[in-house]
Structure 1
Amino acid sequence: NRIYYSFRNITFVIGIIILILNLILLANKKSDKSIGSIDNASGVAILIELAKLIKKDPLNKTDVLFLWCGAEERGLWGSRQYCNKHFEEFIQDYELDKSYNINIDMVGTYIGLLDKLGLIKKKNLNDNLNDVLLASAGQQKITIKKESIKIGSGSSDHQVFRAYAKKYEKKGFQVSLFSTEDDVRYIHSKHDTPDKCSVENLNDCIETCYNAIKSLDLRVE
């Protein structure tokens, strides 16, 4: 019983800490003077350039859907509404057990890829999607830093798609997240400026994702 209550209390305390941190961040978001270079102009720009590449050279067996979600900072409302409206359509139109969600949250002073989940017991974010992305980067000698969830880390839209896949028992559906945890100190402030977004990093992320998507397309039977 003591062990049970200890874990419950620890979880409760951690939950309170995260809640307080998120409330502080929310208050900051309402009053900051950020121009949003890292968060989230970087992700928007990368998606636009990826869309251009896919349009120029369409894949043979795979549809690529590009989605820019609003209200992420207000509780992932944009992606929640989108999934609430369209996820059942995806189930009818696609094999979601063989589908992927690549969430490009932000790329700044480096390229980060979320690798592990869990504050105590770490587990992989996905089965092999990260392996494909890292292999793509490795072939082009692009450096990607593996990230893990930290206390106080914000939420991002891949979590909504992951939750809906779990709800509809699509266990093969995989998600990934590009995010730079070390750059969190800049975002939502006047320090989130264009000079923090390396053009080389942006282009490298585009190349990594583009070649990974092409590789996934070749695997479709």
Structure 2
Amino acid sequence: MITTNEYGQPIGCPVPDWSPAALPKATILSGRYCTLELIDVDRHADDLYAAYAAAPDDRDWTYLPVGPFRTPESYRAWADVAAKSDDPRHYAVIDNATCRALGTLSLMRHDPINRVIEVGYVVFSRSLQRTPISTEAQYLLMSYVLNELGYRRYEWKCDNLNEPSRKAAERLGFTYEGTFRQATVYKGRNRDTAWFALTDRDWPRVRHAFELWLDPRNFDSDGRQLEVLHTR
């Protein structure tokens, strides 16, 4: 909605009773298939390294500013730094069936004044990818941010060449907003950054789609989905 001021100029719609949101503080977010726990080196690092090391190649690290990690010690060193960071705030994804950490994701670029925050550093092992756990992990974090903390904009950014990440963002209900050319340099190469966002206006529709998809009745006896995730 666009309104006009006393000069006839178009201006954004008013946001009454505006106040900043709280910074994320949750240490545990629990779901049916997984639990998100603030990353802890002693509890999670060994499981995470083992899950990542099981991959036959390093392609999952191509578009990340960190990794791949060649030894458990090198990963633990990174995880130690990550565990001490408030922004990004890293969470380990725990499989409720095995109690093992299989991946991480984070909340980053916190802007509570404008109620904007980004999900990033999504590092899901091969055993986590394309599972109900991977989808629920994303749902738990966005629900915490949009429902509990009251943010109005939830962002996803990736290398514009990272087609799997772009497809994941769209599947999860984010809207593509454009590409920032020559936005950063990482691992010695240029990155044009694709921007996606999910707003609080989008969230009721997207939340309903997640809840339908995550219902146990949407999976057969082998754990295969019966209906795809419809967030549009």
- TM-score normalised per structure 2: 0.28
TM-score, structure 1 normalization: 0.29
The structure with more helix, counted as a fraction of residues: 1
Q: Which has the higher strand share?
A: 2
Higher relative contact order (CA 8 A, sep 6+): 1
